[in-house]
Copies of this chain bind each other. A is one copy, B any other.
Amino acid sequence: MTATDKTKFCRLIHQPSAISPMSNKETQVSSEELPIVLVHRLPSFKLPSKPSFNDHLLSDFHLLDPHDSPEPYDSFMSRHAPSIRALIIVGPTPITAEFLKLLPCLELIVGTSAGLDHIDLPACWSRGITVTDSGLAFSEDVADCAVGLLIDVLRRISAADRFVRGRMWPVKKEYPLGFKLGGKQVGIVGLGSIGSEVAKRLSAFRCSIAYTSRKKKQSVPFPFYANVCDLAANSDVLILCCALTEETYHIITKDVMVALGKTGVIINVGRGSLIDEKELVQCLVRGEIDGAGLDVFENEPNVPKELFGLDNVVLSPHCAVMTPQSFEALLQLISANLKAFFSNKPLLSVVSNE
């Protein structure tokens, strides 16, 4: 079957027709007549109940969730496969080339995260499948969290809270000094939507910004370093905001940390595997860098136990995106992307194949 044949086959089997999803509420279309969308999730991942997927999507789409059905997964998938042109991924559920073979008619994958390292993007693109991500929905919240972690590490806020709750203030009297944020040289690794929001915020604290990314950005006033080691050597702080790809896996090596130096701080709101975590732990324990604020880890939810005793690290359970407001924005984006897809209109947050 050629690609064109396949498209015809898929369209014949399932024709969502020219329903305008916007009008479903008024015309009380039954769910069977709505455009079908597969919910792709690991059995352990649940759809969030608040803000509710259902409120946003059920009136406009017929959601098929194999893990909600008593039917065995394989049977469910082969029965519905011909009608599935679009799917939503819940959280970081993997999409492999093997999985894609189950869905010969798939045209759209709606990702729900900023990082898409759980999706085999080349396999999608070779099949002509379009992938969307969370667009700008999470950018501000992740940037806020990055700045919060940085202030926390420099000014030792979580450690101060531990000091007070541990009844140490009346005993020790003095709390150790922190370090000033103003005037710090901040190197941003990955100046996409999150990195740009971080830069905007830290400029208001009188930090100097520089960055590295795949390419120099023409419209950006900040100094560009082609090499992360050079960026580290010229920075007091590194903030990791880039995607995890083959190129960025362990981009923060021991050499980069040594270049950052003994007073340097690393903030990671990207993915755990951007850093060689074993080396990071050693650098923190030995004082080869000064501190770290980590929202992500290589082997989540497991965190290296050596970090639990350190006051110069702040540990956060991969929750930089986690506000009701960002989920609300994400659900609106998912809905808008699906509506655009089923109306043959331009999608809003397509991942670029470049």
Which residues of A approach B to under 8 Å, CB–CB? 140-141, 144-145, 147-149, 151-152, 155, 157-158, 160-165, 169-170, 173, 175, 177-183, 200-201, 203-206, 300-303, 308, 314-317, 319, 322-327
Contacts and interface: CB of A to CB of B under 8 A. Distances in A.
Q: Which of A151, A163, A302, A315 has the most CB of B within 10 A?
A: A151
A161 B204 contact: no
A298 to B, nearest CB: 14
Copy number in the complex reads: 2
16 contacts: A140-B205, A140-B206, A144-B181, A144-B182, A144-B205, A147-B151, A148-B152, A151-B151, A152-B158, A158-B161, A161-B314, A164-B308, A169-B301, A177-B327, A180-B326, A200-B204
A164 B303 contact: yes
Interface secondary structure of A, over-half rule: helix
Contacts of A201: 201, 204-205
Nearest to A203: B204
B177 A322 contact: yes
A233 B323 CA distance: 23
A160 B204 contact: no
Nearest to A301: B169
B175 A319 contact: yes
Contacts of A175: 317, 319, 322
A161 B325 contact: no
Contacts of A203: 204
A165 to B, nearest CB: 5
A315 B160 contact: yes
A176 to B, nearest CB: 8
Contacts of A165: 308, 315
A20 to B, nearest CB: 31
A148 B200 CA distance: 16
A141 B152 CA distance: 13
A327 B176 CA distance: 13
B315 A161 contact: yes
A161 B179 CA distance: 20
Given A140-B180, A155-B145, A160 B316 contact: yes
B148 A157 contact: yes
Contact of A170 (B180, B205, B301): B301
A160 to B, nearest CB: 4
Given A200-B204, A317-B169, A144 B151 contact: yes
Contacts of A140: 180, 182, 205-206
Contacts of A158: 152, 157-158, 161-162
Contacts of A181: 144
A178 B317 contact: no
Given A147-B151, A161-B315, A173-B301, A325 B204 contact: no
B164 A317 contact: yes
